Amino acid sequence: MKNYLIIGNSAAGISAAREIRRSDPAGRITVLSDEPSFGYSRVLLPLYLAGKLRRKEMLIAGKEFYSSLGIRLLRNDPAVNIDAKAARVRTRRGKGLAYDSLLVATGASPRKLGVPGEDLPRVHYLR
């Protein structure tokens, strides 16, 4: 049985998990997330912040998605180290996870503005 590990629980990671399950019904799939929530669309954040969407409308993969596909979701426990030679990932909580196939689907990071005040406490960036 093949052991798949996906780092990232947004659109790319969720889509990959779905496709892996289609092609390998018996494989073990684990998804690591650095957030406490289930999968949501980050692209919709501006609409949510503007009050045009409710929180539940941003959800793209709820609890049922993971359980129905037999996917183990580790929320709020990001990867902190990848040992490619040993094929293991260590999480912030100290879990050691072995893998046969690893996908890093962590998305992008926002670019700071490069202006005075960019690091003030109430300045936030969307990606």
CATH of the domain at 25: 3.50.50.60
Q: Would you say residue 59 lies in a domain? A: yes
pLDDT exceeds cutoff 90 at 124: no
Local structure of 84: helix, strand or coil: coil
In a domain? residue 60 = yes
* Region 34-56 average pLDDT: 92
Domain count, the chain: 1
Contact by Cβ (8 Å): 108, 66: no
Q: State which residues form the domain around 13.
A: 3-104
Say if 116 falls within a structural domain.
no
Give yes or no for a contact between 35 and 13, defined as CB atoms under 8 angstroms apart. no
Looking at the domain assignment, is residue 121 inside a domain?
A: no
User: What is d(CA 64, CA 91) in angstroms, rounded to the nearest whole number?
Assistant: 24
In a domain, 93, yes or no: yes
- Kindly report, residue by residue over 88-122, the tens digit of the pLDDT: 999 999 999 999 999 999 988 788 889 999 999 99
Q: Is 114 a domain residue?
A: no
Q: Please give the radius of gyration of the chain, using alpha carbons only, rounded to the nearest integer.
A: 16
Indicate yes or no: pTM above 0.75: yes
What is the residue-averaged pLDDT of the chain?
Answer: 94
Cα–Cα dist 28/70, whole Å: 8
Within a domain: residue 117?
no
Q: Is residue 76 part of a domain?
A: yes
